Chain A
Amino acid sequence: MSLPVYASPLERIWHYTRLVICGLIFLFLIAPILIIIPLSFNAEPYFTFTEKMLAFDPSGYSLRWYDLLLTQPAIPADVPRDSAWWAQVWRESAWVRAAKNSLIIGLFSTIVATVLGTIAALGLSRPEMPNRRLIMAILISPMIVPIIITATGLFFFYSSPCALIAWTGLSQYCGRLTSSYVGVVLAHATLGIPFVIITVTATLIGFDQSLNRAAASLGAPPTTTFFKVTMPLILPGVISGALFAFVTSFDEVVVVLFVAAHDQQTIPRQMWNGIREQISPAILSVATILVVISIAMLATLEILRRRSERMRGLSPQ
């Protein structure tokens, strides 16, 4: 990006203007995310920097909004914080419960999406795969179809999931999937699958199929070949696909709004309520925690990418 020696003065001006413009766009991208971090430590119930904060007066900052996360909806705040109090927080705090739900739903939907998605990606990247393009289009479609359409469809489907098998006469034995963990997990797995497919097939493009044939010629059965040869090589792709699937679930609110009940309240759902009703700086403290989590995810992904690049450098192309 360095300026060539033959650049005219006008080009020099343009070069630096361009750098300034790019800097401003980067600011546009990153500032909104970073600005909520200091704001979440505001001692006052405002969404802007108070004079005390700008003067870096410690009394302008506080952890009160983080504390509020623990005590909502009705846990006494000004009592000694012994183990009984923490136990109560663990049981009753709305945000802690939402976090537990988000983790449980995220974990199970990630497992479903990653296992099914990785197996399918193995099939999709075989050269013999029939109708590859069409099947790929179907498997990616949950990412493309507007979430409101998916949520509406799932709402109808979950109201009577067994209408499909009504002809067997067994439908009377199964109930509804609305207001159930299973329903949310299945829906989130569906939404996460495209990401797993995309990342794992991308990793498999760089995968040398002759390694599989070599393992087979040495007498390894297909499962051994998979776990000893294929899996270690595509693991970075699988993990980043799993991370994508987890984040998709962890960030999903519309399906939860449509098919889940109070018991399946997740963090995004709780945030949605908070933003819609009366937005309090407590939302900013949750947002800050989520930003920190996404920074951690990004760092993990970056490490995986470097590792995979290193390994690909070793494997014969």
Chain B
Amino acid sequence: MADSSAPAGGLLTTSDGRSLKSALASAQKRAKRRAFLLVLPLLAFIVITFIVPIGQLMHQAIYNDGFSANMPRVTAWFAETPPGTPPDETAWEALALDLKDAAAARTVGVVGTRVNYEMSGTRSLFTSTARAASRFEPPYREALLEEDAKWDDPVLWGTMRQVSDAYSANFFLAALDMTRDVNGKIVPMPEDRQIYVSLFLKTFLLAGLITFTCFVLGFPIAHLLATLPMRWSNLLMILVLLPFWTSLLVRTTSWMVLLQQQGVVNNSLVSLGLISEDGRIQMIYNQAGTIIAMTHILLPFMILPLYSVMRPIPPSYVRAARSLGATSWTAFRRVYLPQTLPGVGAGSLLVFILAVGYYITPALVGGASGQLISNLIAFHMQSSLNWSLASALAALLLGAVLVLYWLYDRLVGIDNLKLG
């Protein structure tokens, strides 16, 4: 003992003569490294299978080489000349030759589609002109105009100049219902094509509504479970956990079965005489269907955090308030409710975050009016094949969700996330 802790120059040292301070620091560093090394494999896994794909999605939202990769000569001409230059014979020649090559490589559809995103009605112009491209002879301007006079449109050339840059913020603009005019100035879309902002708003509104109904239905249940004796609450908890563990598709299917026009609910109402045979209520394939099914699916995510906050609240607080003369309502409002707020916040945020990004249930029971932003992303991925626009919409949705997630971490803490 004496040799290891003898003060040498006023400092404590370890047996091998290093100062205790640095030995401790290096031991702590080693412990830190060990802890991190345990996490590293998973972190690497998540980065590769999750963070990188999302990075690629972001990239897709600002990068589309549909035009530049398949029309190299025109792209080069655009790069050499300042914006607004009227097309000269070099440009016409480049365009004609590019169209010829694109037609041969069967990529002209991609080119037309890319231009069409910015200026509708141009896809067929590209494909039809390309079909005749092998016959083009100089002077190319006349040859192209003879095929279709639309080629002389300065707006078309302005649009082609815009899309010749593979990097573009235009998809984000489109996702926010904005576009660029001929001069490249950002202007709002024509009224009839403004759909995305209102859909975002609708998504948030519906998510808010679903969160609210979940809260209204979840609070009494959580309160009941928290105040019952453990034996009973564990039993009733099963009724909350069974839906939680049941497949989402099963739950959505059962709502389809229940709420159909020929389904159980309508049949019961008819046989009870509450509605007439032809007065069957349309409860599904519309917004109402989305709200009912999603409330059912997300309700456990509200009840569980509420319950875990309510359980430890001592009942004596409310009793004390009552004994001091508060009515049961005042005691509840002034004493009990404030203590449940962390649970209310946790549950509401969680339900809202999950509801904003919901896809499966709206797709199956939402009909036309109950679709959310996720469904439109899927539509652009699978049907319209405008992947860049889908990615821009996804990036905006992701941004919103990450803000909420950050808020959740600040207010609740991710460590407090509990399941069952």
Contact = CB atoms under 8 A, between A and B. Distances in A.
The reply to whether chain A is a binding partner of chain B is: yes
A10 B245 CA distance: 39
Contacts of B34: 123, 126, 128
Interface string B250-276: 111111111010111001000000000
A75 interface: no
Nearest to A47: B257
Interface string A99-124: 00000000000001000110110111
A32 B417 contact: no
B316 to A, nearest CB: 12
Majority DSSP secondary structure for residues of B touching A: helix
Interface string B344-371: 0000000001001111100010000000
A107 B262 CA distance: 39
A156 B417 CA distance: 31
A148 B409 contact: no
B240 interface: yes
B242 interface: yes
A273 to B, nearest CB: 11
Contacts of B182: none
B38 interface: yes
B125 interface: no
Nearest to B38: A123
B401 A145 contact: yes
B51 A301 contact: no
Interface in A109-163: 112, 116-117, 119-120, 122-124, 126, 128-130, 133, 135-142, 144-150, 152-158
A291 B246 contact: yes
A47 B57 contact: no
A88 interface: no
A177 to B, nearest CB: 10
Given A136-B415, A138-B51, A279 B39 contact: no
Majority DSSP secondary structure for residues of A touching B: helix
Interface residues of B, number: 90
A146 B53 contact: no
B317 interface: no
A187 B390 CA distance: 20
Interface string B53-90: 11111001000000000000000000000000000000
B43 to A, nearest CB: 6
Given A1-B224, A48-B262, A130-B32, A149 B42 contact: no
Contacts of B418: 198, 202
A189 B54 CA distance: 16
Interface in A260-312: 268, 271-272, 275-276, 279, 283-284, 287, 290-291, 294-295, 297-298, 301-302, 305
A14 B319 CA distance: 17
B374 A146 contact: yes
Nearest to B295: A28
Interface in A26-84: 26, 28-30, 32-33, 35-36, 39, 46-49
Nearest to B418: A202
Contacts of A178: none
A187 B51 CA distance: 12
Interface in B303-318: none
Given A48-B267, A190-B45, A294-B242, A254 B54 contact: no
A25 B53 contact: no
B371 to A, nearest CB: 12
Interface residues of A, number: 96
Interface stretch (A89-97, A168-176, A212-220, A244-252): A244-252
Given A116-B42, A140-B417, A291-B246, A152 B377 contact: yes
A293 B44 CA distance: 33
Given A30-B242, A147-B357, A298-B245, A128 B28 contact: yes
Contacts of A119: 38-39, 41-42
Contacts of B32: 128-130
B236 A290 contact: no
Given A29-B239, A186-B49, A189-B49, A290 B263 contact: no
Contacts of B262: 46-48
B45 A136 contact: no
A231 interface: no
A149 B250 contact: no
Interface stretch (B5-13, B104-112, B391-399): B391-399
| In the complex, the 6 A-B pairs of residues with the closest C-beta atoms, listed nearest first | A146-B357, A123-B38, A153-B53, A157-B53, A120-B42, A123-B39
22 contacts: A4-B319, A18-B220, A25-B221, A26-B239, A32-B296, A33-B246, A36-B254, A39-B264, A49-B264, A116-B45, A119-B42, A124-B35, A126-B35, A140-B417, A144-B353, A145-B357, A153-B53, A153-B57, A254-B359, A275-B252, A290-B247, A294-B246
Interface of B: 28, 31-32, 34-39, 41-43, 45-46, 49-57, 60, 217, 220-221, 224, 227-229, 232, 236, 238-243, 245-258, 260, 262-264, 267, 296, 299-300, 319, 322, 328, 353, 356-360, 364, 374, 377-378, 381, 387, 390-391, 394, 397-398, 401, 405, 409, 414-415, 417-420
